[in-house]
Chain A
Amino acid sequence: MKRTFSNRFWAALLAAAFLLCAGAALLLWRTPGARTVARITVDGRVVREIDLTAVTAEASFTVQTPGGVNTVTVRPGGICVSEADCPDHVCVKQGWLEGGAVPIVCLPHRLVISLVSGGDGDAPDAVSG
């Protein structure tokens, strides 16, 4: 006879785990933080960083990746992928990233756009490279 637990035990355990995840998801999605610099990485390498607080008008540019091209659009405080030649277009559907901790990701192109905090007192005034 194998050792088993009651249905109620499993229900309670998994419900608790679910609530924890759902809560964390909401927190990561909604909470605006001090993250104002958009960091674009391709294949894990930083290809561009944009201080979204310095953006004054909506503008677009392209990012070339080994898999194809993503068109990225920024506006004051926000960034999104507006066009892409990837198969699923999930990156475009994710819409605007504005302060949340959950990055925009285009898995076929290995492109990730995440927000990082915009500098503390020790940060340089600009970065060369």
Chain B
Amino acid sequence: MCLLALCLPAAARADDSRTFFAMDTVMTVTVPGGSEALLSACEDEVRRLEALFSVTDESSEIARLNAEGRAVLSDETAALLGGALDAAALTDGALDVTLYPVVRAWGFTTGDYRVPDDGELAALLALVGWQQVTLEDGEASLPPGVMVDLGSVAKGFASDRLAALLRGSGVTSALIDLGGNIYCLGAKRNGSAWRIGVRDPDGSGEYIGVVAVTDKAVVTSGSYERFFVAKDGTVYGHIFDPATGRPAESGIVSATVIGPCGFQCDALTTALYVMGLERAEALLETLEGVDALLVDAEGELWATGGLRETFTPMGAYSAAAIHWIR
């Protein structure tokens, strides 16, 4: 098997792309024919946003808000926080940016993983609730102990910003990959749609299939991205259910959302993952302009009608029946 790989031709070198590390993940921006300066501008923009949103960087606006309970926010941070609160309302709290105290107790922020007991979780859950966040005229305030973390939506938001930056520079074709949060600007240079693989949640590195998209974001959430295994062998994923304060176990193991707004896709994938099939279906019925692809624990696929023409299942899923949601 290894010997076979030796015979393959060397992959073409991508000179017009840049890979860097920000927001705790690997990012690659590809602009066919793009200049170094343009790629640098993209990297700088992500780093600027990270410095505003980071929950661990003590000088960020969000860290100051968490520490002091009150802060005047920049336009970007206010827009992202406001959007996140709107998304919380839309998803009935399935996406909640005030989960931070709970996530921290589980050790997902530091890597010192542990399972908090019920009493501790109950106390922490009192601090969770997006309705507790006040945002008025760019000034946010939080009750004591409440903390926000925009990590679940920051990458989607950043991808929208990069797309706007590139469009403003006259770019008509680009691929923005912020740690698996994809934004496809325009089509490929040869005119064909971008082909985006959707990661198989079994962690094998294979794909469920490929979606063909132009001018759209493709975002996937699954617990396989970050998780820990407790001493008793239980696997705990990094996506939390705000209702229980525990890693969500809704029966959905991977949620992908495809739509024109990276932020919206990012927010919806997390929410759909937490909601479970029934609630996710109900929400998707009401949403226009976005498509979703869900994988349940039995490995069955659920998809919205917009994917009929654009989604091609592959590998272990190539013969899978797809349940169409609308």
Contacts and interface: CB of A to CB of B under 8 A. Distances in A.
Interface of A: 27-28, 31, 33-36, 39, 41, 43-51, 53-57, 59-62, 64, 66, 68-69, 74, 101, 116-120, 123-129
Contacts of A54: 14, 17-19, 28, 30
A46 B226 CA distance: 10
A125 B256 CA distance: 17
Interface string B109-148: 0010100000000000000000000000000000000000
B225 A47 contact: yes
Interface of B: 2-3, 5-6, 8-11, 13-14, 17-21, 24-26, 28, 30, 111, 113, 175, 177, 180-182, 184, 188, 194-199, 201-205, 207, 210, 218-220, 222, 224-229, 254, 256
Contacts of B227: 45
Contacts of B24: 61
A129 B11 contact: no
Given A124-B207, A126-B182, A53 B225 contact: no
Given A116-B205, A129-B199, 12 more contacts: A33-B5, A47-B225, A56-B19, A116-B5, A124-B195, A125-B195, A126-B194, A128-B180, A128-B182, A128-B220, A129-B198, A129-B225
B11 A118 contact: yes
B196 A39 contact: no
Contacts of B18: 54, 56
A105 B228 CA distance: 19
Contacts of B111: 62, 64, 68-69
A71 to B, nearest CB: 11
Contacts of A124: 195-197, 207, 210
Contact of B204 (A46, A55, A59, A125): A46
B314 to A, nearest CB: 9
A118 B184 CA distance: 20
A69 B226 CA distance: 13
Nearest to A44: B203
Contacts of B6: 31, 33-34, 101
